[in-house]
Every structure is written in C-alpha cells, then in structure tokens.
Structure 1
Amino acid sequence: MDVDTRLLRYFVTVAEEGNLTRAAERLYVSQPALTKQIRQLEARLGVRLFTRSRAGMALTDPGRALADRAPALLDGWDDAWRATKAASRRAARVLYVGYLASAANEATPRIIAEFVRRRPGWRVEMRQSPWSAPAAGLDEGTVDVALVRLPFPGQDGFHVRVLITEPRHVVLPAAHPLAAREIVAFREVRDEPFVAPAPETGAWRDHWTGADERDGRPPRIGTVVEQPDDWLSAIANGLGIGLAPASATRFYARPGIVYRPVADIAPSRVAVAWPPAADGNPVVRDFVESCLAELPDGD
C-alpha cells in the first residue's frame, strides 16, 4: 500500500500535540485542511486513528500502533532522500551552503575563494534561509553545510564550530528616548515590546529576545517577522525594538533606526555547522577547513 509521507507527517504531529489547532499551527496549515488529511489517511488505511472530543484527539489502538512506528519510518525516508540529494550535488560538483542574513560577515567571500582554491572545478551555491528557519536548511537536508547564528533548533544533532563572536546591540526607532545614549543597559529595555522571530524557532527566538538576561520575565512581543527587511521596517515604524549582532550596523544600516551597544548581555556567535552524516565527505571537510583558515580565532 502506498501512503504519502506528508500524510504520515501530519498524523505524527497531531499524535504529538493531541490537538488539531496546535498541530495545524505547527504545520502552517488550516485546521479544516489538516482534518481532511487525517481523514484521508484513515480512509487509505481502513482504520480509525483518533477519537475526537472536546478534550482533543486521542489515539485509538491502531493509531497508537502507527504512532509507535511512523517516526522511524519517516526518519529512514528522510535519510534516504538526503543521501540521494547529496550524491546528486557531488555529481554536479556543487556545494550547497545555507546561511542566514550576512552569513560570516565580510569573511564570506574569502571563505568561498579558499574553498574553490582547495577544490578546483567546484562551485558554491549559497542558499539564504528566513529567520523562521534558523537551521538554514540543515534540518531539511537541502544544504551540505551552513553558516549559522547560534543557538538554533536541533543544534545538538549537528557538528558546530564557532567562527566569530561579536557583541549584540539593541536596535531602536530613531525617536526612542534612549536613542541618543552611547550605551544602553538591557534592563532598561527588556520590558519593551520586541520584534521577534516566530515562537516555533525556540532557542533562536529566546536568544534574540534576551531570554537568558530577563530574570525569568517573559518577553513582550510587538510583532513577528521572518526577514531582516521586515524586521527593520517594524522597528522603524515603532512596533517594537530588537537585538542584533554588532555587524548589523554595517550590513543593515537604514534611516529611522539606531543601533546602540547594550550592556549585560551575552554576545552573538557565527558558526559553521554540518550533519554527522557528512563526516566522511571530503568536500564538506574542505569547506569547514576553509572557514577555519579564514577565521582562525574562532572557538
């Protein structure tokens, strides 16, 4: 029997959440569409997978049997798909590198040039990810290696080498009362609304809302964005403030906002990250070595 892996992923998410609304939000689909997909899977299998009530979605015995086995099945398929895509990229002599925003700052062109010197005939294709995907394609297997900001969701499942450590700044609308300050203490702004990534980004969102420096106070979220340009516009329009690496003052300067050093907050770190499955891949190793050659002072 053939079953679309998408239906299995939907099923696993509903089983984990026990609630259609939360599962739909996590999957970025509407609740009616998700309900339709679950019913389609039940029809294909000829069994009832959930009992539905006001309390949520409870697994039936057949549903529990599938829930016990489906994650391993999906993981196996993901591994096979990633291996197939990686082999295709190697055959084409292309290294796919995921990145966020400014990647490794000014060192990025030097890293690519060093890699090409080590691997004549190869080329690097850079794939930018939005803030809603801070793993930069590593988690989806769409890239071979990535230049990321730490921390990112699922980080423990990858090899990581820190390349750059830089201070964080607070980003304010130009008319903000603290905009004229030379330096701002985080405690002065931590209770203001923040322009933030989506909650699904977990540790990434926590880092960029200063969760570790809040003494347990939850952040106020003014609005949620996915791209740097949207983030800058939201701050300029007074929807909230933000935190940014110091390099953003060079890459993302624009009218209507100001960057100020912020005291009492941990720095931002740029790293090169790659999946354990690529340990035997000499091309990925050459890219990592190129990063370390151009940024030898990383951790």
Structure 2
Amino acid sequence: MLYNTLRQYEYLIAVAELRSLTEAARRLNVSQPSLSVAITRIEERLGTRLFLRRKGAPVEITPQGHRLLGRIRELLLLAEGIERSSDSPAPFVLGCFEDLAPLQLAKALDHLRGRFAEVSFEGAEGRFSDLAAALDEGRVDLAISYDVGFGARFERRVLKTILPVAFLTPDHPLARNETLTLQELAAHPLIFFSEELSEGFMTTLFEAMRLSPTVGHRVRSLEMMRSLAAHGAGIGISYSAPPSSLCYDGRPVATVPISTSDAATEIALIWPRLRDTDPAFLEVVAALETCLA
C-alpha cells in the first residue's frame, strides 16, 4: 500500500530545490504550516529525516534525503512520461498469424499507410496464443488470423472461409488424390502444430467426428511440418499452403486439399470485445476488409 502521494513527493522536491519552506509553499500554492506538517508526516512514514530545518536558516538536505530525493525525482519523471504518452498518439499495431504474415501483412500495412497517411502503422507476427495475449494486453490493436482458439471475448470480421490442406511425400499413395478427407488421414501418422490452441482445435475436430488420429510429430513451424512430410515422417495438416512445392532443403512436397466441410475455418480480423471501437478504428477495419477479402 502506498502511503505517500505523488503530490506529497512534489512537496519534497520543491523544498529541496528552493531550500525554503516559505518559498516552496508559495510555489505549491499551499500554506507554510500545512507544508511543514506534510513534510514531517512524510519523513515519519519513510522512517528517515530528509531535511534539517532551523528557524531563520536555509533548509539543509541530509545524506539520506539526497539518496531518496534522487529516486523520487525519477518517480516523478516516470509519472510525467506516462501522462505525456497518453496525450501523444501511439502507433496502430496490426498483428498477423505468422504463417499468414508473408502473404497478408506487408500488403495490409502498405494499404493502410496509403489510406491513412496521418497514422503510424506497425506490424507484429505471432502464433495464436501470442496474438490472443497481445490483443488482451493492448500490445496489438487488431489481428489477421485464422479464427482458431479465439474465444467469445473477441470480436471478429470474417474475411474468407477456408479448408485445410495435407502435406505428404509425393510418393505417398494418398498424394495422387485430388482431395482428401479427415477420415482418410486419421489412419496415418499425422503431424500437428505443437501450440496448445492449434493442437486443441485439431484434436477437438477429430473427436467431433469420432476419429482417433495418431500424432507422430508436433512442430512449431509450418516449414518444419512440410519438411517432415516431404521426408515421409507423417502427413501434416495446416490451414496455410505456401505456393512452392519444395521445402527449404529442396525436397519436393505434395499439397492436397482436404474436403471435409467440418474442418472449415475462417480468416478473420480479430480484436478484444473490451477495446474501444471508435470511428477511426472501424475505418481501419473496413479498409482491411476491402484489401484482404
């Protein structure tokens, strides 16, 4: 619990700068007796004597006072900085699910900067849990993401509905199919993303269809999933499908669409319900709908 207020700390700084209770009281627009009483109470709460006050002599600062006054000045500067920052416009941070970011984020930022020249825009990438936390904590204003794991505490504007794809080694028997179903895939070792929200979403999807898949590998990145699939370590399932048919190591990988309708999800613009949605924010949302839909 804080016993001293910032205003009381301003009393101390005024006395230290002017070395006079009378002059400090005049600057602070308080009476000299009330300032004297306030200083005494602050010293009692801090448990140390900050000033040596003698009638007819300038106020002297004790060694303990010098040490504490230095920290108090830092505290007041920090408080002033907080108030100044609330008056200056912060950049608008557009988050994006990291597998979508190479395809969507640069285009979206370019469109916004051209449409709203007076606003500063920044981009941020993250996995589902990263974006959810950043949105909740105000570090990201709006996110472009698959609507996976975002609960009822978020608002969204759907941009498009998509189905997942399967990554396989090109000589896998299923690679010759034009499309695949989750029922067909459940009979083979699968590769899931290791992130809790992503794996939980996929597990729930299979359970709803009364399927019990075998998860052979869990990975953090899309390219690791594609690489393992290309080397025959399992079949990867992802909602992101890079245009290249080669992995980073040059190995070919087959990409086959999954046709199971229950597996569909949306790419959406997502923001917290608790966020203030002023007209300027809604204009950004509308501009992104036009650009990305």
If the TM-score is normalised by the length of the shorter chain, which range does it land in? 0.5 to 0.7
* Contact preservation (8 Å) 1:172, 1:257: yes
Map of 2:223 onto structure 1: 229
Map of 1:261 onto structure 2: 257
Which secondary structure state, in structure 2, belongs to the residue aligned with residue 239 of structure 1? coil
Question: Match of 2:270, as an amino acid?
Answer: A
* Alignment root-mean-square deviation, CA: 3.3
Map of 1:276 onto structure 2: 273
* Contact preservation (8 Å) 2:195, 2:220: no
Map of 1:287 onto structure 2: 284
Are 1:250 and 2:243 an aligned pair?
yes
* Contact preservation (8 Å) 2:128, 2:149: no
Per-residue deviation at 1:173? 2.2
Question: Match of 1:175, as an amino acid?
Answer: D
Report the identity percentage.
25
After TM superposition, the score normalised by the length of structure 1 is 0.58
Larger Cα Rg: Structure 1 or Structure 2?
Answer: 2
Are 1:240 and 2:234 an aligned pair?
yes
What CA deviation, in whole Å up to 9, does each residue of 1:246-272 have, x standing for no partner?
x61426853332111222243231000
Which secondary structure state, in structure 2, belongs to the residue aligned with residue 286 of structure 1? helix
Per-residue deviation at 1:146? 0.6
Which secondary structure state, in structure 2, belongs to the residue aligned with residue 156 of structure 1? coil
Change (3 A) 1:268 1:191: same
* Contact preservation (8 Å) 1:96, 1:145: yes
Which secondary structure state, in structure 1, belongs to the residue aligned with residue 243 of structure 2? helix
Are 1:137 and 2:134 an aligned pair?
yes
Change (3 A) 1:228 1:91: farther
After TM superposition, the score normalised by the length of structure 2 is 0.60
Which secondary structure state, in structure 1, belongs to the residue aligned with residue 286 of structure 2? helix
Distance (whole Å) between structure 2 residues aligned to residue 145 and residue 92 of structure 1: 16
Distance (whole Å) between structure 2 residues aligned to residue 152 and residue 127 of structure 1: 19
Per-residue deviation at 1:182? 2.1
Instruction: Show structure 1 runs of 5+ residues with no match.
Output: 3-83
Per-residue deviation at 1:100? 1.1
Distance (whole Å) between structure 2 residues aligned to residue 90 and residue 165 of structure 1: 40
Distance (whole Å) between structure 2 residues aligned to residue 236 and residue 90 of structure 1: 53
Which stretch of structure 1 is more off in the superposition, 89-98 or 122-131?
Answer: 89-98
Are 1:176 and 2:172 an aligned pair?
yes
Q: How many residues align?
A: 210
Are 1:161 and 2:157 an aligned pair?
yes
Question: Match of 2:274, as an amino acid?
Answer: A
Per-residue deviation at 1:192? 2.0
* Contact preservation (8 Å) 2:131, 2:140: no
Distance (whole Å) between structure 1 residues aligned to residue 93 and residue 291 of structure 2: 19
Which stretch of structure 1 is more off in the superposition, 143-152 or 106-115?
Answer: 106-115
Per-residue deviation at 1:156? 0.9
Per-residue deviation at 1:180? 2.1
Map of 1:21 onto structure 2: none
Q: Mapping of 1:1-299 within 5 angstroms?
A: 91=88, 93-103=90-100, 106=103, 108-130=105-127, 133=130, 135=132, 137-153=134-150, 155-198=151-194, 200-201=196-197, 204-208=198-202, 211-212=205-206, 215-245=209-239, 248-250=241-243, 254=247, 255-265=251-261, 266-295=263-292
